Amino acid sequence: MAESDPISQPPPRVPQHVAIIMDGNGRWAEQRGISRNEGHKQGLESLRAAVRGANDLGIQWLTLYAFSLENWSRPKSEVESLMGLLEHYLETEIDEVMEKGIELRCIGRTDRLPPRIRDGVAAAVERTRGNREMHLIFALSYGGRAEIVDAARKLLRDAELGNVDPERLDEKMFAAYLYDPEVPDPDLLIRTGAESRVSNFLLWQIAYSEIYTTEIMWPDFREADLERAVQEYQSRERRFGLTSAQVSGRRGAKA
Ligand code: IPE
Ligand code: IPE
Ligand code: MG
C-alpha cells in the first residue's frame, strides 16, 4: 500500500477504501419466516446498492466479504445457493460494471471454488482489468489468517531462492506478499447484522481502520446507510497512536 505519511494529511472527506462484512442475511430471512437462501437473494440487492452508493460517493476501493473460508462448513445446500447467486451476479451485472468503468478483483483461496465459479470470476476480473472509475474487490473463500499464512509461504519460498534477506524484512516488504498488494488499507470497515466482530476479515489490513457496526441486517442495507457510515467516519479523528494535539498540530502545520 502507498506509504505516504497518513498523519500528515487531514482525513480525506471520503474514505478511499471501504470494506464491508455483509452480515445478517440468514437472520433477516428467519425473522420473516422464509428460507435463509431468500435472505441471501435479497442480499444481492444490497450488494448492488452498495456498489452504486460507493460509486456515487466517490469511494475508490470497495471490498465486500462475500464468503469466508469458515463458510465452507455451512450446509451444502446453503453453500451451493451462495455460489449460484455469485454466478448470477457476475452474469447479470458484468455489463453494467463495465459501463461504469469498475474493475473487479478477487482475494481468497479461490482454488477451492467450484471450477465454473472460478472461471466466471477469472473471466470477469480479466474483462474489467484496467477500469479505473472504482475497484470492487470480492473476498471469496477468504480468511485473514490464511492470507497471512499464504503470504508467509510465498515469502519463505523467495527466501529459499535467495531473493529475500530475512534481516531486511519489514512490514512494507511483508505486505507485498498479501493477495493484492495494490489495494490500500481500508479506511472504514462496516459490519452489518448487529455483530461486533471481525470474523477473520482482512486481519493485516484493518490495523488502523475505523470500524462502524450497525443493527441493520444486510438485506435492508441501502445507499443511505452507506452514506450514514461515511458521515460517521468523517466525524472521527484518526490518531494513529498520536495525541489529538499532535494530530491537529500536524494538520495546522500543513494548512
Ligand atoms: C451473511 O449473512 C452472508 C454470508 C456469510 C455468506 P449470514 O448468512 O451470515 O446471515 P446470519 O448472520 O446467519 O444472519
Ligand atoms: C462473516 O459472516 C463472513 C461474511 C459476511 C461473508 P459470518 O456470519 O460467517 O461470521 P460469524 O460466523 O457470525 O462470525
Ligand atoms: Mg452471519
pTM of the prediction? Answer: 0.94
Active-site pick, 37, 71, 187, 200 = 71
CB 219 less than 6 A from any atom of ligand 1:
no
CB 144 less than 6 A from any atom of ligand 1:
no
- Note the pLDDT of residue 250: 82
- Note the pLDDT of residue 2: 46
- Note the pLDDT of residue 252: 74
CB 138 less than 6 A from any atom of ligand 1:
no
Q: Which numbered ligand comes closest to the C-alpha of 24?
A: 1
Encode pLDDT of 79-122 as tens digits. 999 999 999 999 999 999 999 999 999 999 999 999 999 999 99
- Note the pLDDT of residue 251: 77
CA 100 – ligand 3 centroid, Å: 30
CB 251 less than 6 A from any atom of ligand 1:
no
Active-site pick, 5, 23, 111, 163 = 23
Q: Which numbered ligand comes closest to the C-alpha of 195?
A: 2
- Measured from the Cα of 30, ligand 1's closest atom is 14
Kindly report the protein residue whose alpha carbon is nearest to atom 1 of ligand 1: 23
DSSP run (H or E) holding 55? helix 36-57
Q: Which residues of the chain have pLDDT under 70?
A: 1-12, 254-255
Q: Which numbered ligand comes closest to the C-alpha of 36?
A: 1
For 166-186, b/e burial (b = at least 16 CB within 10 A) is eeeeeeeeeeebbbeeebbbb
Domains observed in the chain = 14-143+183-254 (3.40.1180.10)
Mutation test of ligand 1: which of 20, 27, 30 has the most ligand atoms closer than 8 Å to its C-beta?
27
Residue 50 and residue 220 in contact, taking contact as beta carbons nearer than 8 Å: no
Residue 71: active-site member: yes
Beta bridge partners of 213: 191
State the virtual CA torsion across 184, 201, 82, 76 in degrees, nearest 10: 150
- Measured from the Cα of 65, ligand 2's closest atom is 6
Kindly report the protein residue whose alpha carbon is nearest to atom 8 of ligand 2: 23
- C-alpha cell read off for 113: 471454488
Residue 52 and residue 226 in contact, taking contact as beta carbons nearer than 8 Å: no
Strand order in the sheet with 134-142: 102-107, 134-142, 61-68, 17-21, 188-191, 210-213
Kindly report the protein residue whose alpha carbon is nearest to atom 9 of ligand 2: 71
- Distance, CA of 117 to CA of 101 (rounded, Å): 22
- Note the pLDDT of residue 11: 55
Residue 110 and residue 143 in contact, taking contact as beta carbons nearer than 8 Å: no
- C-alpha cell read off for 175: 505486505
Collect all residues with Cβ–Cβ distance below 8 Å to 29 and sequence separation of at least 6: 35, 36, 37, 38, 39, 40, 42, 219
